[in-house]
Amino acid sequence: MGSPIRQQRRGKGSSTWQAKTHRGKGDVEHKNAETTGTVVDIVHDPARTAPVAAVEFEDGDVRNILAPENLHVGDEIEVGISAPIEEGNVLPLGEIPEGVPIHNIELQPNDGGKLVRSSGTYAFVVTHEKDGVRIRLPSKEFKKMDANCRATVGKVAGGGRKDKPFVKAGNKSKAMKARGKKYPTVSAVAMNAVDHPFGGSAKPGQPKTVSRHASPGSKVGSISARRTGNKKSSGDSDE
């Protein structure tokens, strides 16, 4: 009898597959008040791809925010409707002009920020409409948002993170371990037959689609796919 296949081991939830969340710097979210604060420190957060800025607000509360580009220790940021359009300030989407880079966007008003939080990313307002604000996400997708949802002005710092190569396997291993991912990985067809349904050989012509009711050990590939093959778009021509 073979050992459990990779997705079964991962689904078990052992410590091998868990990210070390205790190393993180905590939550990063907007403050639910109109106030100002001063950046007291900018630190590396192992749980994130972007640096984190510690901000001390007027009421003495020290809170972490995603550090935008060009933010330095000692800079002041403002939270509220009347805040100027400057990097690091937090405003409702309805108050942000079109074309201004923004990040850490709320899905619902006062939820703290959910969208566009990776290093080097940004979105921007495309148009202000009567019943909301339409923004363009880094994925080039357009999304209509509540005008009261808040966002931080500027691009997330840490851009170009992927431009530097890992150079050696040890660096890649540490990066994957911080994210709770297994490294190195081996393709399914390179495994033995007892380790994976695709193992043993390349098995040309074998379909990858599997029933939703298949046993856990064989649930790999396209699970309960509605359709297979390349989708042919209608109306295509060579002209």
Structural domain ending residue among the three candidates 131, 153, 175 = 153
Residue 115 included in any domain: yes
Whether residue 36 is predicted with pLDDT greater than 60 in this model: the reply is: yes
Residues 122 and 185 in one domain: no
Cβ within 8 Å of residue 190, ≥6 positions away: 199
Whether residue 118 is predicted with pLDDT greater than 60 in this model: the reply is: yes
Number of domains in the chain: 2
Residues 49 and 108 in one domain: yes
120: pLDDT confidence band, cut at 50, 70 and 90? very high
Q: Does the predicted TM-score (pTM) go above 0.85? A: no
Structural domain ending residue among the three candidates 122, 153, 184 = 153
Residue 235 included in any domain: no
Residues 56 and 141 in one domain: yes
202: pLDDT confidence band, cut at 50, 70 and 90? low
| CATH at 129 | 2.30.30.30
Question: What 3-state class would DSSP assign to 91?
Answer: strand
Provide the mean pLDDT of the chain.
86
Please report the pLDDT score of residue 239 as a whole number. Answer: 46
Residues 88 and 139 in one domain: yes
Please report the pLDDT score of residue 227 as a whole number. Answer: 83
Residues 92 and 210 in one domain: no
Whether residue 167 is predicted with pLDDT greater than 60 in this model: the reply is: yes
| CATH at 174 | 4.10.950.10
Please report the pLDDT score of residue 115 as a whole number. Answer: 94
Residue 11 included in any domain: no
- For residues 151 and 93, is the Cβ–Cβ distance under 8 A? yes
Residues 218 and 183 in one domain: yes
State how far the Cα of 236 lies from the Cα of 239, in Å rounded to an integer: 9
- Residue 29's Cβ-side half-sphere holds a number of Cα atoms within 13 Å equal to 15
Whole-number percent of the chain with pLDDT over 90: 50
76: pLDDT confidence band, cut at 50, 70 and 90? very high
Domain region containing 141: 25-153
Q: What is the mean pLDDT of residues 15-26?
A: 76
